[in-house]
Structure 1
Amino acid sequence: MTTIKYGTIYKAIGGYDAVERLNTAFYARVAQHPDLIPIFPEDLTETARIQLLFFVQFFGGPRLYEEERGHPMLRRRHLPFEITPTRKDAWLECLEGALIEVEIEEPIRIAILERLTLTANHMMNTPE
């Protein structure tokens, strides 16, 4: 696992504004990905807003998600959605593209992908 020498990922990438740019780029991809469209709402506004709160907290920023929604309980919250290995990979593909688009540099990009790959693997709940 990559170690961050700048404190938190949140600080290393530039704080809230950088996380917001990443989230926006990420959801632009999610909205167009054929493997993800079936499990996301047509209007991604609220989903993206909640994801932003999560990313801010997950990357070591303020605990915005927890303040609004309580403990993440990610697996439980995602159980209603069929998350297959293909969808997990599609989600990570969208994330990686967004990281590149907003110019998150190495080694931070690798650290983010490593952490969120673990999370994405945990979210899978349906075989192909």
Structure 2
Amino acid sequence: MNPFQSIYEAVGEKKIKDLVYHFYQGVSKNEDLRKLYPEEDLGPAERRLYLFLLQVFGGPQTYSEERGHPRLRLRHMQWKIDSQLRNHWLNTMFEAMDKVELDQEVREMMMGYFIKVANHMINHA
């Protein structure tokens, strides 16, 4: 079992949805992140991240049912992701987390997950 799967039970869908909403509010204001989304409407990307996080954190498997295996690194290879872009992503996610009331233990688990994944996405020095 993935150690992060208990998060869904602890926080529920609404807090995950709120987290993703606040994250994309941050993306819309961050020039480096915003340029990764050529479409004007961030709604589809927001929905994909929401479904992905629901699944990763122990909720419904809708993401995989709709899109197949996440293959995160492969899906992100089209963008040059270096440590600077990773930091923009992490800072935006952590700012979003600050806007959602989370138990400290859950917050730390989520932060651990996001750091691990963000580091894994780096594909350029």
How many Å separate the matches in 2 of 1:22 and 1:37? Answer: 17
Partner of 2:73: 75
How many Å separate the matches in 1 of 2:13 and 2:75? Answer: 24
1:1-128 aligned within 5 A = 8-13=6-11, 15-41=12-38, 42-127=40-125
Identical aligned pairs, as a percentage?
A: 37
Determine which structure has the larger helix proportion and give its number. 2
How many Å separate the matches in 2 of 1:29 and 1:104? Answer: 19
**Counterpart of 2:30 in 1: which secondary structure?**
coil
Over 3 Å off, 4+ runs = none
How many Å separate the matches in 1 of 2:108 and 2:88? Answer: 17
How many Å separate the matches in 2 of 1:105 and 1:87? Answer: 28
Segments of 5+ residues of structure 1 without an aligned counterpart are: none
The TM-score with structure 1 as length reference comes to 0.89
Q: What is the number of equivalent residue pairs in this alignment?
A: 122
| C-alpha contact (below 8 Å) 1:29/1:94 kept by paired residues | yes
The TM-score with structure 2 as length reference comes to 0.91
Residue by residue over 1:28-60, the C-alpha shift from the partner in whole angstroms, topping out at 9 and shown as x without a partner, is: 001111221221233211111111110100111
| C-alpha contact (below 8 Å) 1:35/1:86 kept by paired residues | no
Residue by residue over 1:1-49, the C-alpha shift from the partner in whole angstroms, topping out at 9 and shown as x without a partner, is: xx77xx7101111x11111111101110011112212212332111111
Question: What RMSD over aligned residues (CA atoms) do the two structures have, in Å?
Answer: 1.5
Segments of 5+ residues of structure 2 without an aligned counterpart are: none
How many Å separate the matches in 1 of 2:32 and 2:109? Answer: 25
